[in-house]
Structure formats: C-alpha cells, structure tokens
C-alpha cells in the first residue's frame, strides 16, 4: 500500500539500498576491489519484469548523479518516446567498470518525433546490454 506523498522517500530509500548492495558486492573472494559504475534508466514501472536479465543490447541509460529526474524532465532531456503518459519510474543500473562495454557519455539530440523533445541530457549506450542482476527497481519518479 502506498502512502500519498511517499514517492520521494521511496525513491531515496531505493537509491540508498541499491548503492549499499553494490558496495557490498564489490569485494571479490581474493580481497580485490572491483570498481562499479552507476547509471539510471528511465521508463515505466510496468516494464520491471523485462529487466531481470539486465538491459538489452543497444539500451541506453543516463548518469546517476543528483536526484532523479521527473517524468517530464526525463522525457524531454533524454528524448524518450511518448507512450501512454510520461515515464513513471527509474531503474538503477550498476556494472563492473571495464567489464561491460559502455559507449558515452554523449549528448542527447533533439527528437522532433517525440513531442519535440529538446534533448540536452547525457546518455550512455550499452551495445552488449548489461548482465543479469545489474538493474534494480523500479523506483517512483518525483512529482
């Protein structure tokens, strides 16, 4: 059951839990530290089952710096296609640095076919996708 107005708190808890989990998983059996890179993928909560095996090859994500974008900000800055409403969730993507091919960062170009989205955000492309367990969420977007 969701409490009205709790979306921001839930998003913050999700962010903290994801980073804590990633930090705990960076130590290997030999005691070496594996560096992790963090990204956010914006979309829809209903798509959560599609991420169980990671992001698909050719998928995009953006930086995980700062607070999450709102649905409108994500659609506009990341030039996301218009579905039945604005994006309502984000997913944290955590990958081991240097072990998962990543292209970027590159600026998001304007997309006139997507409600004239101006772009301007930052994107990373995963040409081979990401491994199972690398995507957590969904976390609700702030209002």
CA distance 59 to 42: 11
R_g (Cα) of the chain, nearest Å: 15
How far from each other are the two terminal CA atoms of the chain, in whole angstroms? Answer: 18
More confident residue, 51 or 7: 51
Total length of the chain: 143
Section 45-70 average pLDDT: 96
**pLDDT score at 84:** 72
Close Cβ partners of 135 (under 8 Å, ≥ 6 residues apart): 41, 51, 52, 54, 55, 91, 92, 93
More confident residue, 4 or 139: 139
Instruction: Reduce the DSSP state of residue 80 to 3 states and report it.
Output: coil
pLDDT in tens, 104-133: 999 999 988 777 789 999 999 999 999 999
pTM for the full predicted model? 0.76
CB atoms within 10 A of CB 126: 24
CB atoms within 10 A of CB 46: 12
């Amino acid at each position: 059951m969701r409490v009205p107005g709790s979306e921001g708190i839930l998003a913050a808890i999700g962010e903290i839990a994801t980073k804590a989990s990633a930090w705990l998983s960076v130590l290997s059996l030999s005691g070496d530290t594996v560096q992790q890179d963090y990204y956010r993928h914006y979309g829809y909560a209903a798509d959560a089952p599609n991420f169980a095996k990671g992001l698909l090859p050719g998928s995009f994500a953006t930086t995980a710096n700062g607070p999450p974008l709102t649905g409108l900000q994500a659609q506009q800055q990341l030039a996301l296609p218009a579905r039945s409403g604005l994006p309502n969730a984000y997913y944290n993507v955590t990958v081991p640095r240097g072990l998962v091919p990543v292209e970027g960062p590159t600026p998001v170009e304007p997309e006139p076919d997507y409600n004239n989205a101006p772009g301007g955000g930052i994107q990373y492309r995963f040409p081979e996708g990401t491994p199972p367990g690398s995507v957590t969420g969904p976390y609700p977007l702030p209002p």
